[in-house]
Structure 1
Amino acid sequence: MSQDIRVVELFAGVGGFRLGLESASTRFKTVWANQWEPNKKTQHAFDCYVEHFGSDNHVNADIATVKHIVPDHDLLVGGFPCQDYSVASTGAKGIEGTKGVLWWEIRDIIESKKPKWVLLENVDRLLKSPSSQRGRDFAVILRCLIDLGYCVEWRVINAADYGYAQRRRRVFIFASQQSCASIVDYSKTDPSDLVIKEGFFAQTFPVEDAVNTKKTSNLDISKDKFKDLKALSDSFAGQFYNAGVVQADGSIFSTEILPIKVDPVPLKDILEEEAVDEKFFLKQNLEKWEYLKGAKKIPRIKPNGEPYFYAEGGMSFPDNIDVPARTILTSESSVNRSSHVVVDKTSGKLRLLTPIECERLNGFPDNWTDTGMPHKFRYFAMGNALVVPIVERIGKQLINV
């Protein structure tokens, strides 16, 4: 009988990681989860999670206050918020001298529980954060993981490239204990082969069999070059591309890969067929919508008094439903440039996406977020969520290997 894989889910939201993994295999057993929205009196995402999975071992509290009760587990997952990961100069040793942001809570749990695998998701700008020192934040995260005994891969995955209905780009980080050669033997495989053919992500999301030599970097974040995290945080300089691998010795190979694309589901295929409630239709403000979606060049003044023009290109209005949707943001459905506007199938009138359609774009069942939360928060939850079938695909690969 196959052994269960015990999962801990951090920053669980409405349960996308859990839904994806449990759809992949019954061997994934979530033994503990945490979801807490700071400064919110009502915890809508937590309530949604409980509605679907129950309240057992699901904690609604600041992770910093409950990380000591996280149980033993095999796989740690989480879509953690993107913050500033710089290491503060406080005179304290190692990680104790860092800013109190959420990455360090994750790191503490990994150090304490030593899961076999770690799977994290974040916005792809993490690779270039902060703007004042490109790549520093990501380098700090990678160094933490290798210091804790892990080999690490990452891949920026656009869900539409692999057949799904949304052009949603997210970076996924997969870390495996250096002793877990059953997944990938990182020590015996050429780094470029790991990224292109042999690595965990290469086997899960196939890419073109070529290395882009013009967009390739070889970096070093080892202790030989940076004695500690403070030195790395202060002095790191380097370019991370959309795929890469970190060896146990701190050497990094990164390159721009090209996915072997699968025809995506167009937006029109997820739109509701039946009549949609009138509240979703655009009854007024059409001129404002046209302005927001249109090209513009706006004169502005810099803080030093120097004039400049803020420019942005035009967008399709209404959205082209013959291609995948753009990325859903937390502001979806509000009157802003990024909200989708489509031609309703039944009436031919312009309208917003419905919460059900946003759930479909992320691969959730219809009405997953219809658990008593306010209408606007259903959009907010989907703007924060991940594409569930991407996680399901990763889960199946983990089971296969």
Structure 2
Amino acid sequence: MKKTVIELFAGVGGFRVGLNDIHDFDEDGRAIENNDWDFVWANQWEPSTKVQHAYDCYTTRFGEGSCSNEDISKVDKSAIPDHALVCGGFPCQDYSVARSLSKEKGIEGKKGVLFWDIADVLRIKKSPFVLLENVDRLLKSPARQRGRDFGIMLRTFDELGYNVEWRVINAAEYGCAQRRRRVFIFAWRKDTKYNKNIDPVYAESYLFKNGLFASSFPVEDPEDFVNDFKLIDLTKYQDTVEMTSLFQARFENTGIMIDGLVVTGKTIPIQVKPITLREVREDRNHLEHYFLTDSQNEKFEYLRGPKKIERRNPNGEIYYYSEGGMCYPDNLDLPGRTMLTSEGSINRSTHVIEDKETGKNRLLTPIEAERLQSFPDDWTNTGMPEKRRYFMMGNALVTKIINKLEPNLREIINNE
């Protein structure tokens, strides 16, 4: 099978950077792709902004025509080219399902819930393989009905003819520069050759030794698999509509679903030495633009410090909001913390490091933000404002995780 790919919610091209092992671009700004994954279609559209900076960055690095800039819900899914792999990091939203007025069963999530667009692609194009990334909160949401959203998502995959594996990966535990926890989801059609080698009876071997994630990101052997891993039966619900009101479950950091039966439990990573902030820090001089003023330092010291703040409920009842203290400035001998879209602004989550030349406290540069996500230096230097460069990296994935998956994913698709 040819290694053809479509990238949904493409952003600035993180999956493509990872799969094609991109470290640089040429004098014309085009990415130098070192692997042979053929991206036959991509889509990036940001509804809340007039200027499409992510799309502009993608087409600068991969060429005009490399990406669609249309609302994915309006895309004719049948016109998408055939492909072996769908990849994308989709927004985490509400996965509740309702019946139509005619009482027919069907997926009718809230307007703009983008997982249903992925489902539409799979229903129409019957994509053999799927690789997705999301916040690990997805496994627990919503708070009032823990696990409902992920359960509905898994049941939808099953009804579309797919089996699924997932793993929550902290990038820093596998040699990356950021303590970023994300859930990665790998799905495959039940009529693939790959599926013939997988049986729920052998879930232990798959999850700990032979599966895509176990072979790419090793974990410690289980102490008591039978008792520590549990079974969740999604087939006992009539449909996803019934699951919306009744389903809840505890999905752990590792799991597999075969024909609607889920096996899930906790795994412990065999850790690899991470990249530290000291290694990420730029060597160049004259970074005064990023230095903090005395008042900004004082503000950060307050934001990072422990605090207990009196607040009042609408009914007048008093309660206390508490926050623990954080290291200030950030420890250069640790990997970075999870980078948010607000990176570079004055808030508790923004990184502050000592400048190499002067020892003064400063913000990360956009290049350092790119290094936290394993992008080439200046990847987002395509004409967008500096604040948007930080935003793009806060929204992106750690491309090195995808690069570590690539050899085993390549083997799976080559074997089809």
Query: TM-score when scaled to structure 1?
Result: 0.95
CA RMSD of aligned residues (A): 1.6
Identity of paired residues, percent?
Answer: 51
Decide whether the 8 Å contact of 1:363 with 1:387 is kept in 2. Answer: yes
Which letter maps to 2:5? V
Shift of 1:395: 1.8
Number of residue pairs aligned between Structure 1 and Structure 2: 396
Shift of 1:73: 1.0
> 219, 231, 237: which one pairs with 1:207?
219
The question of 1:220 aligning with 2:233 is answered yes
Counterpart of 1:129 in 2: which secondary structure? Answer: coil
Which letter maps to 2:299? K
The question of 1:238 aligning with 2:236 is answered no
- Structure 1 segments of 4 or more deviating over 6 A? none
Q: 2: CA distance between counterparts of 1:233 and 1:6? A: 35
Per-residue CA shift, 1:84-113, capped at 9, x if unaligned?
111124444333433231111110001100
Per-residue CA shift, 1:168-223, capped at 9, x if unaligned?
1110000011122437722265222221122221111110011566753311101x
Decide whether the 8 Å contact of 2:3 with 2:410 is kept in 1. Answer: no
Counterpart of 1:190 in 2: which secondary structure? Answer: helix
Decide whether the 8 Å contact of 1:330 with 1:379 is kept in 2. Answer: yes
> 200, 207, 229: which one pairs with 1:195?
207
The question of 1:55 aligning with 2:68 is answered no
CA 204–231 in structure 1, closer or farther in 2 if over 3 Å, else same: same
CA 212–306 in structure 1, closer or farther in 2 if over 3 Å, else same: farther
Indicate the larger mover: 177-186 or 161-170.
177-186
Shift of 1:276: 4.1
The correspondence of residues 1-400 of structure 1 with structure 2, limited to 5 A, is: 3-23=1-21, 26-68=35-77, 69-91=79-101, 92-100=103-111, 101-182=113-194, 185-187=197-199, 189-211=201-223, 216-222=229-235, 225-248=236-259, 250-285=260-295, 286-400=297-411
Per-residue CA shift, 1:40-93, capped at 9, x if unaligned?
110000000000001224110110111422221110000000101111244443
Q: Which runs of 5+ in 2 are unaligned?
A: 23-33
Counterpart of 2:164 in 1: which secondary structure? Answer: strand
Shift of 1:274: 1.4
Q: 2: CA distance between counterparts of 1:312 and 1:233? A: 34
Decide whether the 8 Å contact of 2:146 with 2:249 is kept in 1. Answer: yes
Shift of 1:331: 0.3
Per-residue CA shift, 1:373-401, capped at 9, x if unaligned?
00100000000000111111112211133
Shift of 1:116: 0.8
Shift of 1:278: 1.1
Indicate the larger mover: 188-197 or 66-75.
188-197
Which letter maps to 1:254? T
Q: 1: CA distance between counterparts of 2:329 and 2:158? A: 47
Which letter maps to 1:205? F
Shift of 1:127: 0.4
Decide whether the 8 Å contact of 2:154 with 2:164 is kept in 1. Answer: yes
Q: 2: CA distance between counterparts of 1:155 and 1:276? A: 42
Decide whether the 8 Å contact of 2:141 with 2:147 is kept in 1. Answer: yes
Q: 2: CA distance between counterparts of 1:93 and 1:140? A: 17
Query: TM-score when scaled to structure 2?
Result: 0.92
